[in-house]
Structure 1
């Protein structure tokens, strides 16, 4: 009975375990390579095999996660069904162009909500034997200059020149081009005598007398003599009444200013008074009298011209200055119109770009801004230190000499690369510290303590009011580290003042190596924020070879 009870209890336990297992996914992950020894540049196939049920979502590694080997191709996943489970096979093509022994790191695979890691695999990359009896050896070729890619700036320049050319052509055609004179302008350039004679000729060609439109006819006829007298004799002839004009002509004759005959003055007076009667009293003289008055006006214009004195040199000079002044006014008007149109087009262009990209961005692009120039620069992706830190920056980082005590330099190998400084608007430093003679039994490196030392260095350089926060940081290729960030007051150069700023320090450790990346920039600099985000997203760590 006791044995039976035990057997029954075991049966219940196994049944319960089987029941619980039915609620969980089953997964098995394995990895392999088709060869453990290759030649330089030869490809090997790395295979990850996952056996799982239909309810699990499988995420395979992507990107350059196989460093120090380089992934040159990622193949599609093959799926094989095996009873109630699926066998997923993912293959990668890997290679290496330097000889040596390399270890493919463990790869992370996510199956459902669980994480699995493959085993690390070792690969030998062998040199290619060269038969020097058949293939000669040559000296290393010297370094040559590589022309930097010019970019697409010339396209924008071409578009800008095209737009400016079109605008210039439009302005020239409508404003600056010497246009053909209209008939009115050609008449206005004629001397007063010729204009008067031409006006009488046009009056002859009209049909006022045929239609007995005497009012319009006499209005045009008297306007001809009044305009001529206004320009050559009395400059208020147009707005004067008949009595005022005749009185003025008599005064000019009596004052010997113009030698008009009494007959000429009388004839002009008679025609002006008859015109007043036609216009205001509705008088209707004969057509023949109207034609006679026209001929009289024609003759009296000739008489007035004959008695007019020749213009003096001073009058000619004044007339020339007057024409020059008119030309200057005309040119000034063209300049004002051109400037106004150009300014309007510039404002419209700036307004359009401001609506699309924001006013501050357009302003900074036109006036210039240190950070926006860095953001638009041709970024460089490079590796610094050993083990290498791969990072993209707007400028190539230059090697810096670490300012450390001699005793510390005997214990630590430090390589530093940077751009800018703490007092500048943007600063970046990449540092790799390798502790000498650190055995396996020694204590693990405290990355927080190392970053604290970095903060003290910043403080010693003049920063103050440093506020710190920290969180975990994972690079795109899976390297885990610590991110310390916050605000600080940054010193300005040569004036003793401080400005608000931000900073980020990334710290990573591996065996006896500390790798740090530090960035500082001014607060409220949106372009610097974009630069920092782009830099942080580019950071990748490559493991040191065994």
Structure 2
């Protein structure tokens, strides 16, 4: 009995140990789970009202409870579409023991009535995303008591002045450039500016020009600076040039002996009545000049003065020895003066053209640096797609159920379009602008279901691709992805490249295309755009059109 008792006692002790161990494990798990629960952030969201009137504000609140060391990033920007952010309030921070309670509030609004879904918002906590719940917001119209509100007749259409656009900037630039060029032409060509001393001398008859040049040589600094070679070179060139112009002998390229020989022959023939002593004096001056120029001889001042007077004496004696100028020679002199004036005028025109070209190059350089070469080239010479982008766009609703879209030109309704019974659609309306074969093409189509269950959006998208192929497209590259436009509506985007023949040039055109498809308000809406693949401005037009798409939401 004792062994059994002890055996029983031993069993009892063993059960107690197991119970204690189990309780210890449970306590440890509870502590661990509590600690884990405390370290896991909690995110809550709420709105102060789910029903507002048009233009009123709803306050959306996000509460985050997390550790004091956690990094929290709240939503920023227009992530609340289709509602608009009016104001983002500063973050409130409350400390609860070892926790932070962060509260972020946003003031949101909507200016169109309807039922809207406030999308889930992402909060980043320690680089890990957490999401709020989506919320339904109802925007009601403002009730108007028509019994008290006075009614008026509908007014007729009114003419609206078309905005000026940017053309005035280019006009102003053209006026400024024309004024600069005109000013340069006046200054260099048409303005009667006084002649310089050299120009006045050049217009004088040969004899008077030679004396004026000798006087100018006396005022030079050649002798002061001991530049004897330059002095004698100019001194002899004056008399040689005079002999060529008035005596009509080639003196500039002749040597001293050749020139003296020519003068002696003229004297002997009676064409030049000049004495031997004058020719001898002239020969001595030329020989002295040769020594100074080629032998680097330095003449005395008395010899320099003598040679200077001798040259003037030779010019005077030669003038006296010449017969009176004939009428033909006088005419030649007038022709020379007129030719000189024409030469000067041509020089002025060249200067004006060069200056104008420099101004234009500088202006173009500034614009190219600021706007880029392609933009300036297209602005100066024109570009069809750039003109579309910069024109006054038209915003309008097309079809039923209506799709609102802004385009460079009003879309025209296409007649004779198929209804699309095979796709489960009842009505099919098509509006387009441009041509798929050249330029920028945009087409909007709106269809309604026969029965929503019978409609297949995928087949409708395939039909749109088949439509592009039927127009002559080849080698189509097809890509597809989801799409959310700025108004918050979701759709499908099919895009890629293709080749299509231009019927006018018979050349293949490398083009890009985009097909946007939406199922909204009980209808199927589709936008097709085709444009040149290398067009720099087409992408801007595509983005602008895409961002303008909207649908009237039923209230």
TM range (shorter): 0.7 to 0.9
Query: What is the SS of the residue equivalent to 1:500?
Result: strand
What is the match of residue 454 of structure 1?
464
Call closer, same or farther: CA 1:327–1:278 in 2, change over 3 Å: closer
Which residue is equivalent to 2:554? 545
Shift of 1:431: 2.5
Moved more, 405-414 or 326-335: 405-414
| Matching residue within 409, 431, 443 for 1:429 | 443
**Equivalent in 284, 298, 311 of residue 326 of structure 2:** 311
Alignment partners' CA distance in 2, 1:215 and 1:364: 61
Partner of residue 206, structure 2: 192
Secondary structure of the equivalent of 1:412? Answer: strand
Alpha-carbon offset, residue 390 of structure 1: 4.9
Normalising by structure 2, we get a TM-score of 0.74
SS in 1 for 2:285: helix
Structure 1 residue 497: Cα displacement? 3.5
Q: Which residue of 2 aligns with 1:161?
A: 175
1:74, 1:459 → 2: CA distance? 49
Alignment of 1:322-337 (within 5 A): 322-337=336-351
Q: Distance in 1 between matches of 2:228 and 2:84?
A: 103
For residues 2-45 of structure 1, the C-alpha deviation after alignment (integer angstroms, 9 at most, x for no partner) is xx99x979989877765654453333333342866x5xx6x433
Tell me which of 145, 153, 159 is aligned to 2:159. 145
2:87 counterpart (74, 89, 92): 74
Aligned residue in 2 for 1:528: 538
* Distance in 1 (alpha carbons) for counterparts of 2:360 and 2:157: 48
Deviations 1:454-479 (A, max 9, x none): 11111122222222121222223432
Match of 1:486 in 2: 496
- Post-superposition Cα deviations, 1:171-190, rounded to whole Å, max 9, x if no partner, equal 65467644422223222322
In structure 2, the CA distance between the partners of 1:542 and 1:111, relative to structure 1 (3 Å rule), is farther
1:54-104: CA deviation from partner (whole Å, max 9, x where unpaired): 35847558649565xx75833525637484563736353536577xxx323
Q: Report if the CA contact (8 A) 1:96-1:125 is conserved.
A: no
Secondary structure at 2:156's aligned position in 1? Answer: coil
**Could you tell me which residue of structure 1 aligns to residue 281 of structure 2?**
271
CA contact (8 A) 1:475 1:540 kept: yes
Partners in 2 of 1:89 and 1:289 — Cα distance?
Answer: 106
The Cα shift of 1:304 comes to 1.9
Give the Å deviation of 1:151. 3.2
Label 1:412 to 1:234 Cα distance change in 2 as closer, same or farther (>3 A). same
Q: Secondary structure at the match of 1:268?
A: helix
- How far apart, in 1, do the equivalents of 2:308 and 2:360 lie? 61
- 1:472 aligned partner: 482
SS at match of 1:465: coil
Find the aligned partners of 2:250 and 2:380 in 1 and give their Cα distance.
57
Aligned position for 1:405: 418
Q: What's the counterpart of residue 104 of structure 1?
A: 116
Mapped partners of 1:200, 1:66: distance in 2: 92
Q: Secondary structure at the match of 1:105?
A: strand
Report Cα offsets for 1:289-317 as digits up to 9, x if no partner: 98996896576346325xx14413x4444
User: Counterpart in 2 of 1:46?
Assistant: 58
CA distance in 1, matches of 2:230, 2:121: 103
The CA deviation at 1:486 is 1.6
Task: Tell me the SS of whatever aligns to 1:428.
Answer: strand
Larger mean CA deviation between 421-430 and 354-363 belongs to: 354-363
Aligned to 2:47: 31
Partner deviation per Cα, 1:404-425 (whole Å, 9 max, x = no partner): 3368499523344433221122
Q: Which moved more, 1:484-493 or 1:359-368?
A: 359-368
TM normalised by structure 1 equals: 0.75
2:43/2:132 contact within 8 Å kept: no
Contact 1:64 1:477 in 2 (8 A): no
SS at match of 2:438: coil
Q: What per-residue deviation string (whole Å, max 9, x for no partner) do you get for residues 312-340 of structure 1? A: 3x444444444444443333333344444
**What is the CA–CA distance in structure 2 between the aligned matches of 1:287 and 1:193, rounded to whole Å?**
22
CA contact (8 A) 2:184 2:355 kept: no
State the Cα distance separating 1:453 from its structure 2 match: 0.7
Deviates more, 1:217-226 or 1:23-32: 217-226
User: Using the alignment, how far apart are the partners of 1:62 and 1:331 within structure 2?
Assistant: 66
Return the offset for 1:492. Answer: 0.7
Retained in 2: the 8 A contact 1:35–1:44?
no
CA distance in 1, matches of 2:394, 2:59: 33
After superposition, the C-alpha distances for 1:88-138 in whole angstroms (9 at most, x for unaligned) are 36353536577xxx3233442334423333442445424322556xx7543
Once residues 62 and 283 of structure 1 are traced to their aligned partners in structure 2, the CA distance between those partners, rounded to angstroms, is 95
2:107 is matched with 92
Q: Residues 366-399 of structure 1, C-alpha deviation per residue, up to 9 Å, x if partnerless?
A: 3332233334445556555555545454x04414
CA distance in 2, matches of 1:217, 1:32: 103
C-alpha spacing 1:124/1:61, structure 2 compared with 1 (3 Å): farther
Deviations 1:182-230 (A, max 9, x none): 2232223222333455567778999999xxx999999988777655443
**1:494–1:243 CA distance, 2 compared to 1 (3 A):** closer
User: For the Cα contact (< 8 Å) 1:25–1:53, is it kept in 2?
Assistant: yes
The residue that corresponds to 1:366 in the other structure is 380
